[in-house]
Structures are given as C-alpha cells and as structure tokens.
Amino acid sequence: MSRKLLLEHINVPGINTLEVYRQKGGYRAVEKALKTLTPEEIVEEVKKSGLRGRGGAGFPTGMKWSFLAKPEGVARYLVCNADESEPGTFKDRYLMTYIPHALIEGMIVSSFALGAKVSYIYVRGEMMPQIRILEKAIAEAKAAGWLGKNILGTGYDLELYVQPGGGAYICGEETALLESLEGKRGNPRIKPPFPAIAGLYGCPTVVNNVESIAAVVPIINDGGDEYAKIGIGRSTGTKLISASGNLVKPGVYEIELGLPVEEFIYSDEYCGGIANGKRLKATVAGGSSVPVLPANLTLKLANGEPRLMSYESLSEGGFATGTMMGSGGFIAFDEDQCIVRNTWNFSRFYHHESCGQCSPCREGTGWMEKVLHKIEHGHGTMSDVDLLWDIQRKIEGNTICPLGDAAAWPVASAIRHFRDEFEWHIKEPVKSQQQNYGIANYAVPIEKAVEVKSEN
Amino acid sequence: MSDKVKVTIDGITVEVDNGTTILNAARQIGGDIVPPAMCYYSKLEGSGGKCRTCIVKVTKGSEKDPRPMPKLVASCRTTVMDGMEVLNITSPEVLEARAGVVEILLINHPLDCPVCDQAGECDLQNLGYEHGLQKTRYEFERRTFDRIDIGDKIQLHMNRCILCYRCVFTADQITNKRVHGILNRGDHSEISTYIQQAVDNDFSGNVIDVCPVGALTDRTFRFKNRVWFTKPVDAHRNCDHEKCNGKVTLWYKGEDVLRVTARKDQFGEVESFICNTCRFDKKATSDWVIEHPTHIDDTSVIASNHYETLKPLHVIQPNEALQAANEIELHKTVKY
C-alpha cells in the first residue's frame, strides 16, 4: 500500500466537517506555519519539496512563489484555480467535495507564505455543490478562528472568498481566470507581464491549482525534505490521478509519482485492468489536451523500458513517442473504441471552448472539428488527413494561450500514431459506420532495444 | 543604462527607444520588412496580439540572454531588448506561419469583395493578395450572421469581421460610453451592441476607420461607389467639437463628396480621430478648406495605373539575401 498524503483520511465519516478534520490532525500546518515559521521559510520548504504545479504545466510551485514581486504598499493575492474542466480530470472536484478543509488549510498556509491578505478560490460555475461545500467549510473555519482577523493571535489577517465562474474552460488559463475574477470577459491576457508582476487588479498574484495548494499542507507538516523523498527524480510527492474510461475501477487515486503505468492500470490496488476482459488500445495520460498514445507506447518507452507515472517518464521521447503528465486525467480506451471518433469529440470540445480572441485557435479549431466530423462519418478523403495535419501545425504555438496547443496536440498525436485507422475510415466509408477498426497492432509489445556497442 | 536599444530585424540594425515593440521598430525602418498588422493599432491602448499576422521569429533574445525565443512571437506586443535579432521576411518559417494565419482568417470570410464597400482599401484583401493561396481548402459552410444597423450611420456586417477588437477598444477609449463589445465565444463570437441598442455618440464613426475589413461600414457611403473611382483630397474645417481637429480626407466623385474619413498614414492608421459631424454631415465642398490631393501608396489599387518597382532601401543594398526576399515581397504586390 503506497503512501497517501492528501487522501489519507478520505474514508473517515464526517471528514468534510471541521471537527472530524481537526481530530485527524487537520490545521496542524496552519499552527506550525503561523507560529513557528516565517513566510520565507515556508517558501523555502516548498522549494525543497520539489512540488510541481498539479494543474497541467508542472512548473515548480516554490519557484513560482519566489518569482512573486513584492513592492511596498501593494496588495498581493493568492488565487486558487478550481476551474477544473479538462475532459478526463476530476480530481479537484473530488478533493473539494470530500475534504474541503484540506484546501482551506493549504490556502491559509500559502497565503501566509505569500503575504496575501485576501485570497480567492475560483470555482467552475458548474460545480455549484462544491461551491456550497467550500462556503460552508470557510464559515466553519472562520467561526473557529482559522480565518478572519488576527488568526491564532499571530496578527495575520486573511479573508478567503469563493468565486463561481461562468463554466468556461478557458477560465482555467491563469490570466483568463484573473480577467474573469475581475468581472470581465474571460479572455487570456497577453504575457508578459506575468501574473507574478501584474495579476489580479494589476497587483502581484500567484495562481495555483487546488491540488498544489492542498499539497502544501503535508509539506509543512512533515517538512519539504520528507516530501521530496517520495516520488522519483524531479517528480516528487504524490499525485491525484483521475482514472476514467474502460477501466474496471475508474475513480480518483492518489499515487506516488514513479509508479509504473502498467501497475496503475492492471493492479487491483488501482484501476484493476480493462473492463469486460478487453484489451487496452490507447490511453490519454493527462487529460484531453495531452497527446494520445497507443497501448504499447503507454506501457513501455520507445527503448523498451517500462513507462512510469512521472512528469519525466511520461514525456520521455517528446511528442514522437511520449505524452505529458498534464493534470492527471487518465483515460483508457479498450479495443472497441474509435480513435477518430474520440479525436473528433475532443476537437469538438476545443472548438466550443475557444475564447475567440486570436485567429488561429478561433477559426482553426472549428475547421479541425468539421474535417474530423467528415472523416468520422465516412465522407473523408485521403487529403483530409494531410489537411488536418497542416491545420494543427498552423495552430500550434501561434496562439496567445495554450488552448491552441491543447487543441492541436490530440489531433497531431492521433494522426501520428493512428493514421491507419483514419485511412481505414476513408477507404471503408460504409464499414466504418457499422464496426470498429479494432486494436490492430497498437498493443504489440515493444521489443527491448538491442544494445549496440560502439566501435571505438 | 541608456534609453536606446539596438535591434536587428532581417539584418538591418536600428536604434530605438527602450520599450518599443518589434513592430514599431520595424516601422521605423520601413519598407517590406514591416510585419502586417490586422489588429494592432498604435492609437488604441491594449490592442494587438490577436490576429497573429505580425508573428516574427526571434533568433537571439538579447545581448544578455542570447537564447532564441521558442515560439514565433507577435511582434506588436513583444518589446525589443538590447541586441535582439529578429527575422521576418527572411525566415521561411515565419512566412509559412503567416500564410497559415491568412488562410485561417479567410476560411470564414465571405469573400464578397465585389459587393463590399471596403474593397480597394481593405487590409485583409491586401494581406490575402500578398500571402494567401489561390484556392481555399475549406469546403464547409461559412458562418453567417444577419446584418445589423447600429445607429442610422453605421452598418455592421458581422460575416466579414475578423474579430480584431479594434472597434471595441475604440468604443472603450475614444468614445465616452462603451456601446458595443463581443458577445459569445469562439468562432461564433460576434461584435454587437447590447440588445440591439443604437450606437449614438460623437465619436462612434471612428469604428468605421479602424475596422481593417468591411465589417463596419459607413451607411451614408453604402454602395455609392468603388473607392478606386473616387479621388481623395486632404481638407480641413474649423470643427467646434473640442476633441476633433477637423482634419480629414474627402473622397470625391466628380463634384460630389461621397464620403469623409479621417486621414490615414502609410500603415493604414488614422492620424487623429474625427467627430461624427465632420464625418457624416459635412458633405459639401463649401464646408471644407481643400489642402492637396491625398498621397496614395503605389501599391494601392486606388492609385491605379501605377506600378511598383524594386526600390530597396539603401540599408539593405549590401545584403543579398534580404534583397532577394524583398523582390519576392514585391512580386506579391504586382498587379497583373
């Protein structure tokens, strides 16, 4: 049984209340941080822990905090990004639903570390129950003196607000989130300036994912060094993975980074294998925006070594043979799933969610969706596949925010790895409407690379 | 540290003020190396960065940090650093990406230039002419909207819009009340007024001038004439509006003033914004003091019967690669 840091007490009845959460050692981190540590020491601990942002990009959290500008007389803000809307990712919702106090505790410690007097939790609009849960938890914490004026008699004041969003995927992008929080249309800002210099209301701001903030609690409790011992290489600590798709036991799992992907999919402790005794065809390892991989490349690296659930191992091989950790939305496809249909579905999502600010993403996502729709429904031509490849190349890297890239990568990787399936849809327009392409050779094990001895 | 920084664009070094954007540095050099800008407007704060036609490649970040930038950057929103090296028309990567942006801008554009009032002075038309493909690869239905009259002077033709946000910034910054904005999201977003409210204030006519395409057109000029049949003349009058200096361009057809616009510089930007009285109500020669014929660029269709020749700037004459690139740019503008 691997170590659990965030979900240790998830099965304790009433853990969503302050009382039970306290009994299980909750708010120890706040006491420790506010009474014994200086803000700089907390930032140092987080840096030592090697915690990487859990929202998708994997940027080291401690580093992000140390970049925060600290001009005199200007307010600083901490904003928690709970606009979780990546298809396949539902870990933050789970965390907020069942242990809201973990997030609130993390918010207090992090706000103290950053010197923020007012902090916001920006929650996606569809998550109304979670907003109520958080508001109730904040009221509880406030009544018990963990929030408000002069917390624990240390003279530190903190107000915590929950802000419901309008339910736009783009508002998960940090600058769009800040625009939306300010009450404007949620369009991403052009960077620089980065939020660490001019963020919310023009003040220095840090935007962190729910899980990153919650992970600060065990870091402060046990110390950054202790946290860094978990995991592998530069991927330290534990990560919540939202497993979905054709798995025996889909759900949210806390894993130690470095767990082999094969073990994650097939062991009974985690997903328990592919449902209905079928075989794995492909996976999306980190939420819909990361490249899709066929089964053989999911389980093994290109050189035959096992692939691990860590930031480095998942992205091993670049986009040619690798993918990304992303936000940890692990989607498994069995042999009866159609990759073309899935790619169309993803691009339909990005088409719908593009903010429409910059042209490649606004027009390109719609174009890709239409071409994919055409191929999926048996009207495609061979040149459409090349056209798709060309469109995604024109979008990727040419947009203001990463949504353009996120829309392009699934399409690019689907064509790269599953081109024969696309071509089958085109060559067999009637058949493709009635049956599936099947697993083909996507699960053929990768041979162990033969070592070539150098001659000199 | 001095206030001047050195930046090299396509091999031409220029010294500019600290904080200048790459686009404005290129405009100081002039010629073909100026990236096209569809959404950036120097008079409107916060504009730019959206259309992505001005993307360039930064091969050297600065003297201190010589690493190249990983992606192509929007030159209108990227400030120069000392020692920065930028490639625009000499980089095939940039030209390809720009052609891609042009194609993408055109896929939902109705291409109704034959009946569009903007034809002849349309930035998108010029851009499409220079960078676009002969054929479209888009085979689906283009999105359509109904035409909206915003007020009695301006018509919004949303089908043609490229969502550059210039008019939104104008409404925000030039007029005293924001009257319209963007509704919806993604490729179904549209410029509109709230519940079809009419646009009604003294400077609202300027949205017509800033619009790079024919999405916002002057209803008083609608279908009156093609711009290349009209003769532009610079003129002025004593305007009693405190924010308007009354300096305009009159567009004549024979004896009649068909329309009045603000004066535009070589980059298609107005020199100063004019009020609605000057624009819509003063359409008699007797209202104006005529100055001189407006200078029209050789490449413009308005200056018909003039043909551009290769006149490279003296700074680029020693650079053969750049001269070749200039010649390619020239061929794109040649009218057959």
Interval A324-364: pLDDT, tens:
999 999 999 999 999 999 999 999 999 999 998 989 999 99
Q: pLDDT tens, B31-74?
A: 889 999 999 999 998 898 999 999 999 999 888 889 999 999 99
Taking alpha carbons only, the member of A195, A166, A198 closest to residue A180 is: A166
Q: B299: distance to nearest CA of chain A, Å?
A: 26
* Most confident among B192-196, B288-292, B314-318 (mean pLDDT): B288-292
What does the pLDDT look like over A261-283, one tens digit per residue?
999 999 999 999 999 999 999 99
Give the tokens for residue B175.
């007029």
pLDDT band at B199 (very low <50, low <70, confident <90, very high): low
User: Could you read off the pLDDT of A49-81 as tens digits, one per residue?
Assistant: 999 999 888 899 999 999 999 998 999 999 999
d(CA B158, CA A364): 18
Query: What's the CA gap between B105 and B109, in Å, rounded?
Result: 7
Instruction: Report the distance separating Cα A406 and Cα B86, nearest Å.
Output: 27
d(CA B52, CA A359) in angstroms, rounded, equals 7
Candidate from A357, A363, A397 with C-beta closest to B105? A363
Q: Which of A363, A399, A400 sits opposite B108 (nearest CB)?
A: A363
Is residue A92 within 8 Å of residue A122, measured between CB atoms? no
What three-state secondary structure class fits A148? Answer: strand
Q: Do B71 and A360 touch (CB under 8 A)?
A: no
* B104/A397 touch (CB, cutoff 8 Å), yes or no: no
Interface contact A354, partner B, CB < 8 A: yes
Lowest mean pLDDT among A73-82, B193-202, B324-333: B193-202
pLDDT band at A27 (very low <50, low <70, confident <90, very high): very high
Residue B65 sits at the chain A interface (C-beta within 8 Å):
no
Distance CA B52, CA A398 (A): 7
C-alpha dist (Å) from residue A449 to A300, A454, B232: 11, 15, 73
Hey, is the C-beta of A85 within 8 angstroms of any chain B C-beta?
A: no
Q: Is-contact A178 A207, C-beta < 8 A?
A: yes
pLDDT, residue A333, reads 95
**Percent of chain A beyond pLDDT 70?**
98
Can you say whether residue B268 is alpha, beta or left, with left for phi > 0 and alpha for psi between -120 and 50 degrees?
A: left
A348 to chain B: closest CA residue = B186
pTM here is 0.91
Q: What is the dihedral of CA A343, A127, A181, A205, to 10 degrees?
A: -80
Nearest CA to A206 among A115, A134, A131, A137?
Answer: A115
Q: Are A397 and B101 in contact (CB under 8 A)?
A: no
Question: Which chain A residue lies closest to B99 (C-alpha atoms)?
Answer: A394
Where are any strands of DSSP class E within B151-244?
154-156, 180-183, 190-193, 216-218, 231-236
B195 pLDDT band (50/70/90 cuts)?
low
